[in-house]
Amino acid sequence: MKSREEIIAQLKGTLDQERFDHTLRVEKIALALASKYRVSRTKAGAAALLHDCARRLDRTGLLKTAKILGLELDPVRMFEPKLFHGEIGRHLAKDEFGVKDQEILTAIENHTTGRPGMSRLEKIIYLADHVEIGREFSGIDRIRKLAFTDLDRAIIAFAENSIAYFLKLGLPFHPATVETRNYLLLKHGKKRN
Ligand SMILES: [Fe+2]
Ligand SMILES: [Fe+2]
C-alpha cells in the first residue's frame, strides 16, 4: 500500500479541491473515532483517505466504469450513479493504491449506504464521512456527538435522517440504507409497541 504522503499527492492531483478538503476532514474524525473505539488508526486513516477516490469520475464516468467492472446495475444506482463510487473506489484502492487489506477495501465499498453487519472500521468510515465537521444538516450536532458515544445509535440516527430527507424530496433511496437501519435497530432489541 502506498504511504499517506503518496496517497495524498495522488488524490490532490485527481479530486477537486472541495472533495480533497472533505477527504482530509474525514481522515481527521475517522482517526479520532478509531482511537475512541480501539480500531487500527492505520486502517482507519487509509480507508478515510481513499473512501472517495472514485469521486474523480462524474456520473457518466461512474456508470461507464460500473458497466466495465460488471457491477450490479440496480435501478436506484442507475438513477443515481454516484452510488457506485464506493464499490468503484474499492477497485481503485486495490489497483491504483495497492491496498490489499480486505477490511479497508470493504470500508471504502460500503461507506455511503452502509450494510447490515458492518465491522467497527466500516461504521467509523460511514459516520466519519457523514458527520465530518464540514457537513451541515439539521440534527448533525447530535449525531456527531452520538458517534463518539454509541456507533450503532449514531448510524441508526443518520440513516433515519437520510431516509426522511429523501422522502421529503420524493427521491428514491438505496435499500441498503433501510437494511442497515433495520439491522441495527433489531440487533439492539427493538420490540413492537
Ligand atoms: Fe463518498
Ligand atoms: Fe465522502
Give domain status of residue 174, yes or no: no
Environment class of residue 88 by beta-carbon count within 10 Å: exposed (0-12), middle (13-18) or buried (19+)?
buried
Give domain status of residue 159, yes or no: no
Q: Using one digit for the tens of pLDDT, what is the confidence trace for 79-126?
A: 999 999 999 999 999 999 999 999 999 999 999 999 999 999 999 999
Q: 54 is in which domain, residue-wise?
A: 4-137
Give domain status of residue 124, yes or no: yes
Q: Using one digit for the tens of pLDDT, what is the confidence trace for 54-80?
A: 999 999 999 999 999 999 999 999 999
Q: How far is the CA of 118 from the centre of ligand 1 (A)?
A: 16
* Interatomic CA distance for residues 54 and 107, integer angstroms: 14
Q: Is the pLDDT of residue 29 over 80?
A: yes
Give domain status of residue 173, yes or no: no
427521491: which residue's cell?
171
457491477: which residue's cell?
71
pLDDT at 131: 97
Give domain status of residue 16, yes or no: yes
Q: How far is the CA of 183 from the centre of ligand 2 (A)?
A: 23
Q: How many domains does the chain have?
A: 1
Instruction: Give pTM, 2 decimals.
Output: 0.96
The CATH number given to whatever domain includes residue 26 is 1.10.3210.10
Confidence of residue 192 (pLDDT cuts 50, 70, 90): confident
pLDDT at 190: 76
Give domain status of residue 52, yes or no: yes
Q: How far is the CA of 145 from the centre of ligand 2 (A)?
A: 19
As a whole number, mean pLDDT of residues 47-60 equals: 98
Give domain status of residue 61, yes or no: yes
Q: How far is the CA of 5 from the centre of ligand 1 (A)?
A: 21
